[in-house]
Amino acid sequence: MSFDEAELKEQLVRCMKVLHMRGLMTGIGGNASVRMEGTTEVLITPAALYKGELKPEDIVKIDLEGNVIEGVFKPSIEWHFHSAIYKRRIDVNAVIHTHSPMTTGLALAGRKIEPVTLESAVMLADVPILEFRYPGTKELGDLVAENILGHRAVILQNHGVIAVGYDLIEALTTVEVLEEVATMMFVASHFGGAKLIPSDQIELIKKLYKI
């Protein structure tokens, strides 16, 4: 197991800037973390600070119980679900939470992500929509942990998106693809609805990609 703590902090800061610039979260909404692979220590974005202007030294190091090991600021109030995911998914080393407007908007209307593109058919085969729980609570963490098994992402009703990955790039890609697909579905819905990839073609794709 090897990781560069300073580089992971830089990656977190870059990731938040990208998400903020792309309009996937506001300066005060959203958070991200990375687990230092093979340990029980997590680097997480701080609470309350403006996310588009974070610096590596603002990042907080916590354990899986939310205790601060290192850092000046308080960890994100959502550390519960970050920690709950790491405890449940040994394959996950990065968690990103955004308030992606298109993805969240479709879920508000009860619309699930559908196989409209290759990415949505393969990467996002099934993205559960979880019922509302108050942000920052252990109850939300427990609900996410129960439902994240076997998925790259879940959508929190009336709230936003949680994406996971082996590393930050993988989680970031999932957030981006989700929003892209949600936007396509929204555009298609305006003109009468989306044509979906036929199910036999999806089976073929899964065979090709060995899914």
Interacting residues with Zn ion (CB under 5 A)? 160
Task: Tell me whether residue 104 or residue 120 sits nearer to Zn ion (CB atom).
Answer: 104
Query: Minimum distance from CB of 157 to Zn ion (Å)?
Result: 12
Give the largest CA-CA distance in the chain.
54
Query: Minimum distance from CB of 162 to Zn ion (Å)?
Result: 9
The closest alpha carbon to 18, from 153, 179, 172, belongs to 172
Query: Minimum distance from CB of 66 to Zn ion (Å)?
Result: 17
Answer whether 114's CB lies under 8 Å from 194's CB: yes
Query: Minimum distance from CB of 94 to Zn ion (Å)?
Result: 17
The closest alpha carbon to 162, from 79, 87, 90, belongs to 79
Task: Tell me whether residue 66 or residue 160 sits nearer to Zn ion (CB atom).
Answer: 160
The closest alpha carbon to 84, from 169, 178, 159, 154, belongs to 154
Catalytic residues: 78
Euclidean distance between CA atoms 3 and 165, whole angstroms: 16
Euclidean distance between CA atoms 8 and 204, whole angstroms: 37
Closest-by-Cβ residue to Zn ion is 160
Residue 66: both structure tokens together:
């939310």
Calculate ∠ Cα 39-34-51, nearest 5°: 150
Task: Tell me whether residue 115 or residue 160 sits nearer to Zn ion (CB atom).
Answer: 160
